[in-house]
Chain A
Amino acid sequence: MIRLRRITKFFGRNQVLKDIDLTVEKGEVVVILGPSGSGKTTLLRCINYLEKPNAGEVAIGELAVDCKRPSKKDIQALRRKTAMVFQHYNLFKHKTALENVMEGLVVVRKLAKEEARERSVRVLEKVGLGDKLDAYPSQLSGGQQQRVGIARALALEPEAILFDEPTSALDPERVGEVLEVIRNIAKEGITMIVVTHEMGFARDVANRVVFMDGGVIVEEGDPKIIFSRPKEERTRQFLKRITPEANYSI
């Protein structure tokens, strides 16, 4: 379980997160929607401390970290309970697909090389890249790179995987293959928090949708309800703009 309490974040004098509370239960798939600049990516990055909140509390499982004075050990512990999939993949450029997945297992989790290798191969096969083990990121397409990114996160068997706009950098034809992989792991009951603009994905896969704007959570709830009859006017506006009905007149 992940529990964020009163998370506040400033970039200079600009407050991007205003007292955010969010709880994600074990096994839940939560999709965060919102216009750019709404703070959704920043919120996600606060969970594993790639962004340092100015105030509030981040708790994962038994571990609760006060953002006022987190110790290095606390931050480390938060990061070891989570894994992240990045918008721009951020694969280790100098390592092959297999090495990318093994790296965290060997260096951080201290698994024996053989065991790490076996697990990594298994996970890479699961994302459909069993034949690309020795390829460097520069030899892979965007969709393949992102699937390696997902495998890297999955192999760590974290308590939750954080997805930061995992399909935003892909060309439209590749979006499907990556969403398919994410959909499949969602079925396995892994806790996931996904920032995305893919409305179809949110509708089908999310247990809960969180709509953010201006650094606050405007509305959250069951995707069926949020998408069909949102309570807030702001949500309605956003959804209307992002899922336009076919009513253009010329």
Chain B
Amino acid sequence: MKLDPAFIWTAFVKLLSAVPTTLFITVVSVAAGFLLGTAIALFRIYKVPVLGPLSAGYVTFIRGTPMLVHLLLIYYGLPAVIDGVSAAFGWSFRSVSIPYVVFALIAFTITASAYLSEVVRSGLLSVSSGQLEAAYSVGMTTPQAIRRIVFPQAFAASIPNLSNSFIGMLHGSTLAFTVSVVEINAKAQIVASTNWKYFEAYIAAAVIFWGLTVLIERLAGVLERKINIYNRGGVA
């Protein structure tokens, strides 16, 4: 087998067209997963009746099953549900008109929400109860205290874990190729299939993923320094 370095470059250039798709899937599922995960974390921390235990069950199930399984369950299960409901109400809407990427977004949001709920929960638990008491003592309501005092500190404490999850979801988004979404990984396969130079194409894909990861790490680093200026000390 002979490596064709020139084709690595060719593939690299071609793969760039798939970067927006990968980033779109990753950013949307992390953002939506973060919101859902925050709700889940609050339900659990405040031991909300029904929703609290339900959230705990959801988290163990989602974290206990592979991301690929979530994707396939949504891909095969959701259309059946949608078509069933649509038929029952006599609507003309059919699941075939839903773009594939939507299934990937829904499935990955579910995956991300479970992991991110734990990130958010640990962030919230890292804020000392004295902070909340001080907020109450100046007359804040619970939502005010959470929004103004607890969340900003929890978020600052969560940045390393968040960037970790973000990178995990970036790499996990490659699974979208199983439902015909052309992200970086799928694009590499397509590019290589014309001349069977898979190795070169995947090297190009690896380089792109690494580059994106480094970018995320850098951004997280900048954000951490910016937000954490108040935190001198600690163990470091």
Q: A-side interface residues toward B, CB under 8 Å? A: 48-50, 72, 76, 79-80, 82-84, 86, 88, 90-95, 103-104, 107-109, 136-139, 152-153, 156
Contacts and interface: CB of A to CB of B under 8 A. Distances in A.
Contacts of A94: 149, 152-153, 156, 230
A84 B148 contact: no
A92 B134 CA distance: 8
A117 B221 CA distance: 32
Interface stretch (B32-40, B50-58, B139-147, B167-175): B139-147
Given A76-B141, A86-B130, A92 B136 contact: no
Interface in B182-231: 229-231
B233 interface: yes
Contacts of A108: 138-140, 144
16 contacts: A48-B136, A48-B137, A49-B136, A50-B137, A83-B137, A86-B130, A86-B134, A90-B133, A90-B137, A93-B131, A93-B231, A94-B153, A104-B139, A138-B230, A138-B233, A152-B138
Contacts of A95: 230
Contacts of A90: 128, 130-131, 133-134, 137
Given A92-B131, A94-B230, A103 B139 contact: no
Given A79-B136, A90-B131, A104-B138, 12 more contacts: A76-B141, A82-B137, A84-B134, A86-B130, A86-B133, A94-B152, A136-B229, A136-B232, A138-B232, A152-B138, A153-B137, A156-B139
Given A93-B131, A137-B230, A138-B232, A103 B148 contact: yes
Nearest to B156: A94
At the interface, is chain B mostly helix, strand, loop or mixed? helix
Given A88-B130, A107-B148, A156 B136 contact: no
For the complex of A and B, 10 pairs with smallest distance between CB atoms = A104-B138, A90-B134, A84-B137, A90-B130, A80-B139, A108-B139, A136-B230, A138-B232, A79-B139, A94-B230
A65 B73 CA distance: 54
Contacts of B149: 92, 94
A122 to B, nearest CB: 17
Contacts of B134: 84, 86, 90-92
A107 B145 CA distance: 10
B137 A139 contact: no
A104 B233 CA distance: 27
A137 B130 CA distance: 14
Given A138-B230, A139-B232, A76 B130 contact: no
A95 B227 CA distance: 11
Interface string B96-136: 00000000000000000000000000000000101101111
Contact of A138 (B138, B148, B231): B231
Nearest to B130: A90
Contacts of A79: 136-139
B91 to A, nearest CB: 43
Nearest to B233: A138
Nearest to B134: A90
A153 B137 CA distance: 9
Contacts of B152: 94
Nearest to A80: B139
Nearest to B138: A104
